Amino acid sequence: MTAADAAIEAVSTTPVLLVALDFDGTLAPLVDDPMTARMMPRARAAVDALAALPDTVVALVSGRSLGHLREIAEHLDASPMWLAASHGVQYWVPGAGEQPASDDAADLALRDRLREAITASVAHLDGVWIEPKEFGVGVHTRVADAETAREAREAADRLVAAEAPGWRRRTGHDILEFAFRHEGKDSAVAHLRERVGATAVLFAGDDVTDEDALRALRTGDLGIHVGDAETAATLKVADIDALVDVLEAVARQRVARAQ
């Protein structure tokens, strides 16, 4: 048995498993228009199969706002899937729905002013798209050329540094985002682990923001990185299909364990 097989078997046979998964680039291909992202059919089937198993909790952990995450994940009110959105600030709990997230009127007002200022500063740049986020703003540059993307990032950095130097700055696949809330995917996974009483966690992601969660995993957990970048994950897989192979193996082993 390889080390990877042993790690998969360990989480597959744990009493209560939390399967926490990033969405973009992990279950759904990266696309130019972020709101058109959808899970690959095999990925959808795999997460649905896991979520239907006893003592197995599936959660999507994403930087997307809760409304956007529900839309792209085609998440219905009756879904058994948990959601941790906005890097762990917003939550959807099966059977209970959206959980209240505290905020401050001054923070929200500053968010709105910065969104307007950043939008105006990059309006002349082709291929740059500003995403309003619940607790900040995202600057998308996927379809911009390298020089344009650099100019957009520098403009946003200048404005945030001047007006909100304490905001959290994150980079990802062709996105720069800022938020006045400082939660990360590490705190999201910790919160979910406690809420569901998980005895082990499988976490998978593909981007820089997923490394927070991967570094925070414990002995007995399994971290998976999708892609070939440097990572703190225990296991690296080439692409979404390869991740689905792992998820399907976990489902099979948990079914066998229950028999």
Neighbours of 142 (CB within 10 A): 16
- Weakest-pLDDT range from 27-36, 57-66, 98-107: 98-107
Model confidence at 101, pLDDT cuts 50, 70, 90, reads: confident
Q: What share of the chain is helix, strand, coil (3-state, %, to 5)?
A: 40, 20, 35
pLDDT of residue 199: 98
Binned at pLDDT 50, 70 and 90, residue 4 comes out as: confident
Give yes or no for residue 217 having a pLDDT over 80.
Answer: yes
Mean pLDDT confidence for 174-202? 95
Quick one: what percent of the chain has pLDDT higher than 70?
100
**Residue 218 class from Cβ within 10 Å (0-12 exposed, 13-18 middle, 19+ buried)?**
exposed
Q: What pTM, to 2 d.p., does this model score?
A: 0.85
d(CA 158, CA 7): 44
Question: Residue 160 is encoded by which pair of tokens?
Answer: 């945030």
For 221-243, what is each residue's pLDDT tens digit?
Answer: 999 999 999 999 999 999 999 99
Looking at the predicted structure, is the pLDDT value of residue 3 above 90?
Answer: no
Q: What are the two backbone dihedrals, phi and then psi, of residue 147, each rounded to the nearest 5 degrees?
A: -70, -40
Q: Using CA atoms, how far apart are residues 65 and 70, in angstroms rounded to an integer? A: 9
Query: What's the average model confidence in pLDDT over 47-57?
Result: 97
- The sheet with strand 136-140 has its strands ordered as 129-133, 136-140, 175-179, 168-172
Tell whether the model's pLDDT for residue 102 goes beyond 80.
Answer: no
So what's the pLDDT on residue 100?
85
Percent residues over pLDDT 90 in the chain: 89
